[in-house]
Structure formats: structure tokens, C-alpha cells
Structure 1
Amino acid sequence: MNILIVDDEPLARVRLKRLLTNSQTIRLLGEASNGREALQLAKKQIPDLVFLDVDMPGMSGLEVAKELNFSAVPPAIIFTTAHPEHALDAIGLNAAGYLVKPISEQSLQKAIEQLGRLTRVQVQKQHMNKISYQLAGTLKSIEMKSIFYFSAEEKYTKIVFEEGDALIEQSLKQLEALYQTFILRIHRNTLVNRSKIIALHSQSNGHHVIQLQGCDELLPVSRRELRAVKDAL
């Protein structure tokens, strides 16, 4: 399990690293002393688990957790703090665990055991009903049920949904792997929302198009994907 440690206190980071040395399943990717640094590291390293201090100057751990939850592949989060009253806030952010300082080896081991055999992809399932994107510097999210389709747009992927459209950095291949139960490939450049499919239409020229509920566009189906589309229907 790949982890990040985030705490503004150097001694707290040292103690946690020492306690984690006994675990053969843990691989430390890095450590951060503040919220912004934590987000940068998480984006670069894509950890499975983040040990996150709640009480940090500037950007608090709770604020960091909210940002991490919008990641395309959000990590599991175990909060660490000297103030137990933050527990309810942590629960509201789908925390995988909560450790009160000073952290004991026993409490740490119990928190790790509670994660069991969860992988990053399995933890992610609680976030799978949404996809995040940036708009004018603001992080927003779309519920999967409102998305019509994804199409490749040079270096980006275009999401077309009920309220409009947006660009994201994830490729169609990455989206297909992450959201395979929700989406269906109909063309090398197009993925559609399975739940939106109404019908597959054949045209006079021998080509086929997909009709989606609430979407005015008829999307072309490639010959290569036609069999898979028919099987899905």
C-alpha cells in the first residue's frame, strides 16, 4: 500500500514513520508539511492512503481531504489529530480511520487492519458516482447519471452532460478502466453512459448510430465496436 504522511510537525512525521516501519505492506511515497504541498504530492504520486493531520496552519487537513475527494482516483484517508472533537467532520468526509495523538502502535495497527485488503480502486467506489473537472480555476463535479458521453479532443477529453460540457485530462482509456460499469465504448473516440442508451439505429449507408436519452446528437458506432454495443443492449 502506497502512502503519504501529511503533518506540519516534523516530530509527528518522524514518529509515524517509525511506527510504520514494522508494516511490510506499507511503502512511503513521501511526506508533506502543509496542505498545498500535500495536494501537489498526491497529484504526482497517486497514493492509496494518506495519513492526514487535521490541525495545520493555512489549509487544514479537512480542507485537504475535501480536495482529495474530488480527485479522479481519491485515496483512502486516515486523519491524525490531538483534538477528538474533529471526528464527526472526518466521518462526513468518508475517512477510512481517525487516530488521536500521541498515536500508539496498537491504534495505528488497528486502523491499518480496518482497511483490510482494500485497494485504491476499491476505496474509490464510494466516489464513482461523480467526475471532477476544473472551470475558471474552480473545482466542480458532475454526477455520472447526468453525463451523456465522453469524446477525445486532442490532448483532453470532452464530457458532454445535461448542463453543458467540460474538458478533463483523463484519457478515454483511463476513464474506461475506472468507470467500466457505467460507460460503454462505441468508437475509438467516444464513450457513452450505458444508462442513457435508448436505441441503436442502422442507417441506409450501412453505418450505425446510438441514441441517448435527453441528448439531441446521434453518435456514430464504429464497425469494430458494433458487436460489443449489440451485446450490451
Structure 2
Amino acid sequence: MGVLVVDDEPLARARLARQLQSIDGCQLLGEAADGESALQQLDSLDPDLLLLDIEMPGENGLQLATQITNRPNPPAIIFCTAHDEFALPAFAVAPSGYLLKPVSVEQLAQAIAQARRLSKPQRQILHAEAPRTSHAGGRRQIKAVSRRGVQLLDVDDIRCFVAEDKYVIAHHSGGETVLDESLKELEAEFGERFVRVHRSAIVAVEYITGLQKHSGGYVVTLSGTAQTPPVSRRLQGNIKSLLEEMA
């Protein structure tokens, strides 16, 4: 995977260049300190991936990314920035990742692995379809922002949403991720694919495997996760009827 690093800070470019050396299947093709230089090298080097800063003199990274993604067969873009406030406008140009500085080699490797899954034509199609919507209603991906950066979760991979204290946790095949969204909002958006089982949990219908007795009540079992959300007495009849329809 050929990579072009675009950042106005020489030390930041050098750090990313060193980290790329330890990631299998990646080759540093070049470096650019501003948007104009990046566009020139984009034409000559034809990179598969841009590691792109946002705050730069002249044209910033968001403006540059908009230009690039409107080109035929654009490269993947991973934003590497010191500011989390750009996350929402950044995802309007459909990047493959959004990392907060200082970027660790583990975070970079994970973001690159995600970007590597799609070919250039596939990325172009996804960008053309933005904002992303699901075949069954709601977004295809959910954005989670943390100190480690921005993570995109495929909704089709989420087994359940569970409310804990002030947060909602999405449980998926890769583990769990804290979201800054309410359970009520998620149920309203994804109600065609997720069903309420408790005031603190909604679960993905396609991953339900059964009901089990537990502590005088029931829990719902799900494939691909050890989580077993409780089922309220009021909703037990609904879940049993759903299981009969699925059988």
C-alpha cells in the first residue's frame, strides 16, 4: 500500500514515516508540507493512502480531502490531527479514519488495515453514496470519538446496545465501544433491526440465538458475544413470539 504523508510539521511527518516502516505491506512514497505539494505528488505518485493533517497553512486538510475525493479513483484518507473538533466535518468527506495526535503505531496499523479492505473504486462508490444509509434504515456506520481517536463501527456487526450509567456501550465482534448517543435515539433509528429487551438494552434481531433462565428471569443470548442482556418481564412475551417467528 503506497502512502503519502501530508503534514506541515517536519517532526510529525518523520514520526509517521518511522511508524510506517513497522507496518507490513506499507511503503512510504513521499511527503508533502502543504496542499499544493500534496496535489502534485498525488498525480505523480498515485498513492493508495494519504495520512493527512487538517490544520495547515493555505488550503487545510478538509479542503484538500474534498478535492481529492471528487477525483476519479481517489486514494483512501486517514486524518491525523491534534484536534477532535474537526471530527464531524471530516467525516463529511468519507475518510477511512480519524486519528488524534500523538498517533501510536498500533492505532495507525488498525486504521490502515481498515482502509486496506476497500479498493479505490469501492471507496469512490461509498463516497458517492454519502451520507451513508443502511439497507434497513439508519446509518451503516456509527462514529465513536475517544482519546484514542475516532472509530467507525459497522452497524451490521453490532450485537447489542446496553445503557450503563450516562453512556451507551455497543457490543460488537471486536469488543465494546462507548457511544455518546442515547438508547432511545438508537432504537428510533435502528428499530427495524434492533428490538428492545429491557429498559437498558436493545439487541440485533439477526444475532439472537435464544432465551435462558437467569436469577428468576430471562436473559437473551446472542451469537458472537458473551453479553447476555436481561429481558424484562413486560417484554418476555414479545421476545418469545419473535423467536417463534424466527424458528
TM normalised by structure 2 equals 0.50
Q: Distance in 2 between matches of 1:114 and 1:72?
A: 21
**Which of structure 1's runs of 4+ aligned residues deviate more than 4 A?**
none
Between the aligned partners of 1:114 and 1:103, the Cα distance in structure 2 is 16
Cross-structure match for 1:95: 95
Counterpart Cα distance in 1 of 2:120 and 2:73? 7
Runs of 5+ unmatched residues, structure 1: 130-233
Query: For 1:8 and 1:76, how far apart are their aligned partners in 2?
Result: 20
Partner of 1:11: 11
Q: How many residues align?
A: 129
The CA distance in 2 between the partners of 1:87 and 1:121, in whole Å, is 24
Aligned to 1:85: 85
Map 1:142-181 → 2, pairs under 5 A: none
Aligned to 2:123, the other structure's residue is in SS state helix
The aligned counterpart of 1:65 is 65
Match of 1:137 in 2: none
Q: Could you tell me how far 1:99 is from its partner in structure 2?
A: 0.8
Contact 1:46-1:73 at 8 Å conserved across structures: no
Distance (whole Å) between structure 2 residues aligned to residue 31 and residue 49 of structure 1:
12
Map of 1:27 onto structure 2? 27
Alpha carbons of structure 1 residues 13 and 47: separation in structure 2 relative to 1, 3 Å: same
In structure 2, C-alpha distance between the alignment counterparts of 1:48 and 1:116, rounded to whole Å: 9
Could you say what secondary structure the match of 2:57 adopts?
coil
How far, CA to CA, are the matches of 2:23 and 2:120 in structure 1? 18
Cα offset for 1:87?
0.6
Deviation per residue, 1:61-108 (Å, 9 max, x gap)? 001001101211111100011001101111111010001001111211
Whether the aligned pair in 2 keeps the contact of 1:53 and 1:80 (CA below 8 Å) is yes
Unpaired segments of 5 or more residues in structure 2? 130-247
**1:73, 1:128 → 2: CA distance?**
12
Bigger drift between 41-50 and 5-14 goes to 41-50
One-letter amino acid of the structure 2 residue matched with residue 107 of structure 1: Q
**RMSD of aligned C-alpha atoms?**
1.5
1:113 maps to which residue?
113
